Amino acid sequence: MSLIVQKFGGSSVADAESIKRVAKRIVETRKAGNDVVVAVSAMGDTTDELLDLAAEVTPLPAPRELDMLLSSGERISMALLAMAIKSMGHDARSFTGSQAGMITDATHGAARIVDVTPVRLREALDEGAIVIVAGFQGFSRESRDITTLGRGGSDTTAVALAAALDADVCEIYTDVDGVYTSDPRVVKKARKLDRITSEEMLELAASGAKVLHIRAVEFARRHGVILHVRSSFNNSEGTIVYDPSRLPEGAAVEESVIAGVAVDLTEAKITVVGVPDVPGVAAKIFKIVANTNANVDMIVQNVSAASTGRTDISFTLPKSDGERALTALSNSQETVGFTSLQYDDQIGKLSLVGAAMRSATGVSARLFEALYNAGINIEMISTSEIRISVVTRADSVHAAARAVHTAFELDGDDDAVVHAGTGR
Amino acid sequence: MSLIVQKFGGSSVADAESIKRVAKRIVETRKAGNDVVVAVSAMGDTTDELLDLAAEVTPLPAPRELDMLLSSGERISMALLAMAIKSMGHDARSFTGSQAGMITDATHGAARIVDVTPVRLREALDEGAIVIVAGFQGFSRESRDITTLGRGGSDTTAVALAAALDADVCEIYTDVDGVYTSDPRVVKKARKLDRITSEEMLELAASGAKVLHIRAVEFARRHGVILHVRSSFNNSEGTIVYDPSRLPEGAAVEESVIAGVAVDLTEAKITVVGVPDVPGVAAKIFKIVANTNANVDMIVQNVSAASTGRTDISFTLPKSDGERALTALSNSQETVGFTSLQYDDQIGKLSLVGAAMRSATGVSARLFEALYNAGINIEMISTSEIRISVVTRADSVHAAARAVHTAFELDGDDDAVVHAGTGR
């Protein structure tokens, strides 16, 4: 008998009808002879509605109370889901984060899982019940308070349960058929991937692909959990996210050079103009930025102009961090000694990800050539072992993605099917 | 320093504005130098909305899951209330039923409190925090599951907390100014009582007065908790509900003969016609009725007609229990041997309650005379030590209440102020 963990997001349980549909799917998995553990998000927009309610009461809600408030959302969806399953004649029991043994640190709103002690879940499974667990929430042993894991937390809950229960697979149900070579809304010829390594998935998620949360993928990789990303709207096989180093000897499969092309339009670029080209200045600048908790991504330093002894430093960061970073830098203009600041929120980032890039040669050249042929100017470049990212103008990054997708022979034969709505 | 427990019902915390108003009131109590523990119900119609949602999923929700579902309502209100208080610069912490140590048996939907272990509440109080507790919910040690106490459960939560924490008073905030000599919507001249004994309050609640739940009053009496029923819309003193036997020697106050007149329109009358007048038949009938879990109130047996050796037995019960009882009796017609059944749901019950009735004489005579003068026919009579109840036609019971209220000199000088809405 296999143990399968299934995760359903808010859009999959948005109303009573959807809950019954999901219940039916869970029962089918059970009938096929599997033990089933389900992690479920709050219904539809519940979390946002609760946040609105809190905002009406106070502009700055106490974090402990905000977690208490938000954790009510999954209690509603999980209880309804368990009821629906029971009404179909199968035993089901719902468990809160703390009942499920989801132990976290005491960081409200962004708690880290420190331990999972699923004693009650095992008991329920042994008694033949389907187990429903509240996603997104946990319990701090230290403060004895209820915590939440932050956005995308339900994916992480599912993966943590799969790891703790040694599940055979963790199925992440979403509103797309799986992981695509690129966003099908941008690149019509995007292909669904049958499998992708967790390393590639991590880079894609970090580069703007939204199908899985980076934290859940990291957790899965660290604990050897196999993910299956699939649609809750049909029964097609989705995409398996796996760690090739954990495959048994001889089971290795040939990897394609490129797994996918990701696009990110959420970043902005700050250029610090006329920085004195002396040691320690860059460190000073990025210390100032780091103190604002801004999440710096790419950094480029121009060659110093010999005549002035000054240089420009550009970096990208999430637009939402832009204002804080600019203010902090502006306040330090005299100490750092730069000339001026430029802010550009009309940039797009394109990333090419593939594990086989390590051994393949000429990938960068092929990328730059494709962009050149499409008439797209590159403003910044950064690379990791299995990724190349370039910054372009925002309004040309989609065209860039299509050109690169074609150049690397990723195009499928048919246009991809795009469902409405997005999961959480 | 006094410890005050305050209970706010759903209508007092129906929206963000109301929650802020209640928070202000709590902070005022704290500023006056008191430790404050608050029991709060779910916002407005939340509980009914959650019940509707469950009904959309399944007509027969699993009780364990229904409790899990409903318990989310108070988590929302208590978290928002704690946030509101914190934003006013006072420390506040919310606790679920299980965090508050509200231990119950495992009867979902109608759990009984078996123990209260408010360890975390005492800690929070010692640290100077205002404590907010979810009303209506508890935790079963036996099943380790979340339970709810049933309708009116938040009153019971407040009283149980007051008992466990040895509070000086338990304030029940509602949408009326206190306990009245009769329902001010029926009897315009009804007067607010400054105080009432818990025994009288129990009889009034059992006779249809809705201001307090009978279970909470019972709990208060058993544990010597002084209740203060007051309005959340003004600062007037309300009604103190106390146990005279617990007053210190010499502190006894003179009691008025009659505390109040209650009206109940929720009952129906079943008459079993032509019952053989032999021993054991009545026992047979009421065993059949009891097996349907119907809550029999008044019972009257007519004098047997010598010619037939048969008699009629009438009894009242909640209308909601009527159909079940009728069906069960109907199925047993042959074994019991009665002639026919009559069902009458057009009855009203008027009850006169007063502790001093014990020693006062002529109360019944005065009651019957008042009804006779008002031209109202009495169909059934039942009495307890401190109560007389009569059944009349439904459409004359309000006139009856007004007549009796005047006859017993309960009328106030002014018309009572009636607020909109009703508490839970």
Which among A56, A75, A99 is the nearest to B16, CB-wise? A56
What pLDDT, on a 0 to 100 scale, did the predictor assign at position B344?
96
Least confident of A39-48, A125-134, A286-295, A408-417: A408-417
B80 touches chain A (CB under 8 A): yes
A324 touches chain B (CB under 8 A): no
Q: How far A127 CA lies from chain B's nearest CA (Å)?
A: 14
Nearest C-alpha in A relative to B87: A58
What pLDDT, on a 0 to 100 scale, did the predictor assign at position A357?
83
CB B50 within 8 A of CB B18: no
CB contact under 8 A, A58 and B144: no
Nearest C-alpha in B relative to A14: B53
**Antiparallel, parallel or unpaired: β B113-116 and B146-148:** unpaired
* A323 sits in which H/E element: helix A319-331
Strand partners, B103: B115, B139
CB contact under 8 A, B54 and A78: no
B163 touches chain A (CB under 8 A): no
Tokens of B37: 């523990």
d(CA B18, CA A332): 46
CB B264 within 8 A of CB B183: no
Nearest C-alpha in B relative to A57: B16
What pLDDT, on a 0 to 100 scale, did the predictor assign at position B419?
53
What pLDDT, on a 0 to 100 scale, did the predictor assign at position B283?
87
CB contact under 8 A, A83 and B16: no
d(CA A204, CA A209): 5
Read off the pLDDT of each residue in A181-205 and give the average, rounded to a whole number. Answer: 92
d(CA B221, CA B244): 10
CB contact under 8 A, A76 and B94: no
Least confident of A113-117, B82-86, B244-248: B244-248
To 10 degrees, what angle do helices A281-290 and A319-331 make?
A: 120
For all residues of chain A together, what is the average pLDDT? Answer: 91
Sign of CA dihedral B313, B314, B318, B321: positive
Cα A237 to chain centroid, rounded: 21
The CA-atom distances, in angstroms, between A414 and each of A175, A229, A258 are 19, 21, 19
Cα A175 to chain centroid, rounded: 15
| Total beta-carbon pairs less than 8 A apart between chain A and chain B | 117
In chain B, where are the structural domains located? 3-255
What pLDDT, on a 0 to 100 scale, did the predictor assign at position A368?
92
B14 touches chain A (CB under 8 A): no
d(CA A419, CA A12): 12
Nearest C-alpha in B relative to A61: B83
Within 10 angstroms of residue B151's Cβ, the number of other Cβ atoms is: 14
A296 closest CA partner among A277, A275, A314: A314
A261 closest CA partner among A186, A319, A317: A186
What pLDDT, on a 0 to 100 scale, did the predictor assign at position B248?
67
Of residues A413 and A168, more confidence is placed in A168
Buried b (16+ CB within 10 A) or exposed e, A288-302: bbeebebebbbebee
* Alpha helix ranges (H) inside A213-305: 214-223, 281-290
Q: Residue B104 phi/psi, 5° resolution?
A: -125, 175
H, E, C per residue of chain B = CCEEEEEECHHHHCCHHHHHHHHHHHHHHHHCCCEEEEEECCCCCHHHHHHHHHHHHCCCCCHHHHHHHHHHHHHHHHHHHHHHHHHCCCCEEEECCCCCCEEECCCCCCCCEEEECCHHHHHHHHCCCEEEEECCEEEECCCCCEEECCCCHHHHHHHHHHHHCCCCEEEEEECCCCCECCCCCCCCCCCECCEEEHHHHHHHHHCCCCCCCHHHHHHHHHHCCCEEEEECCCCCCCEEEECHHHCCCCCCCCCCCCCEEEEECCEEEEEEEEEECCCCHHHHHHHHHHCCCCCCCCEEECCCECCCCEEEEEEEEEHHHHHHHHHHHHHCHHHHCCCEEEEECCEEEEEEECHHHHCCCCHHHHHHHHHHHCCCCCCEEEEECCEEEEEEEHHHHHHHHHHHHHHCCCCCCCCCCCCCCCCC
Read off the pLDDT of each residue in A398-417 and give the average, rounded to a whole number. Answer: 88
What pLDDT, on a 0 to 100 scale, did the predictor assign at position A246?
81
**CA contacts within 13 A on the Cβ side of A101:** 13
Q: Residue A403 phi/psi, 5° resolution?
A: -65, -45
d(CA B47, CA B153): 12
pLDDT tops 90 at residue A329: yes
d(CA A423, CA A13): 10
Within 10 angstroms of residue B372's Cβ, the number of other Cβ atoms is: 12
d(CA A13, CA A274): 54
Q: Does residue A251 sit in helix, strand or coil?
A: coil
The CA-atom distances, in angstroms, between A280 and each of A290, A319, A332, B96 are 15, 26, 15, 53
Q: Residue A72 phi/psi, 5° resolution?
A: -70, -25
What pLDDT, on a 0 to 100 scale, did the predictor assign at position A233?
86
In this prediction, what percent of chain B has a pLDDT beyond 70? Answer: 95
A84-118 confidence digits (pLDDT tens): 999 999 999 999 999 999 999 999 999 999 999 99
The DSSP letter of residue A280 is T
CB contact under 8 A, B68 and A57: no
Q: Which residues between 54 and 73 in chain B have a beta carbon less than 8 angstroms from any beta carbon of chain A?
A: 54, 56-62, 64-66, 68-69, 71-73
Helices (H) and strands (E) in chain A, counts: 13, 20
d(CA A206, CA A353): 11
Reported confidence tier of residue B198, pLDDT bands at 50, 70, 90? very high
- In angstroms, how far apart are the furthest CA atoms of chain B? 81
Q: Which CATH architecture has domain A3-174?
A: 3-Layer(aba) Sandwich (3.40)
Reported confidence tier of residue B422, pLDDT bands at 50, 70, 90? very low
A264-308 confidence digits (pLDDT tens): 999 999 999 999 888 888 889 999 999 998 888 888 887 766 678
**CA contacts within 13 A on the Cβ side of A410:** 32
Read off the pLDDT of each residue in B34-52 and give the average, rounded to a whole number. Answer: 96
In this prediction, what percent of chain B has a pLDDT beyond 90? Answer: 75
Read off the pLDDT of each residue in A302-320 and give the average, rounded to a whole number. Answer: 84
Residues 6+ apart with CB under 8 A from B27: B85, B88, B90, B130
A236-274 confidence digits (pLDDT tens): 999 999 988 887 666 556 667 789 999 999 999 999 999
d(CA A418, CA A183): 10
Buried b (16+ CB within 10 A) or exposed e, B245-282: eeeeeeeeeebbbbbbbbbbeebbbbbbeebebeeebb
The DSSP letter of residue A180 is B
Contacts B79 to A, Cβ<8 Å: 54, 65-66, 68-69, 72
What pLDDT, on a 0 to 100 scale, did the predictor assign at position B423?
37
For all residues of chain B together, what is the average pLDDT? Answer: 91
The CA-atom distances, in angstroms, between A251 and each of A45, A246, B8, B305 are 43, 10, 64, 95
Determine which of B72, B86, B121, B132 to mutate to test the interface with A (most A C-beta atoms within 10 Å): B72
B3-255: what CATH class?
Answer: alpha beta
Which among B69, B75, B84 is the nearest to A71, CB-wise? B75
Read off the pLDDT of each residue in B22-35 and give the average, rounded to a whole number. Answer: 97
B263 closest CA partner among B391, B364, B357: B391
Tokens of A64: 């402990």
Read off the pLDDT of each residue in B177-195 and give the average, rounded to a whole number. Answer: 93
* A36 sits in which H/E element: strand A35-40
What pLDDT, on a 0 to 100 scale, did the predictor assign at position B260?
94
B149 touches chain A (CB under 8 A): no
What pLDDT, on a 0 to 100 scale, did the predictor assign at position A112?
93
pLDDT tops 70 at residue B246: yes
CB contact under 8 A, A65 and B16: no
The CA-atom distances, in angstroms, between A184 and each of A278, B126, B379 are 46, 58, 78
B347-396 confidence digits (pLDDT tens): 999 999 998 788 777 888 899 999 999 999 999 998 888 899 999 999 99
Contacts A96 to B, Cβ<8 Å: 68
A378 touches chain B (CB under 8 A): no
CB A140 within 8 A of CB A103: yes
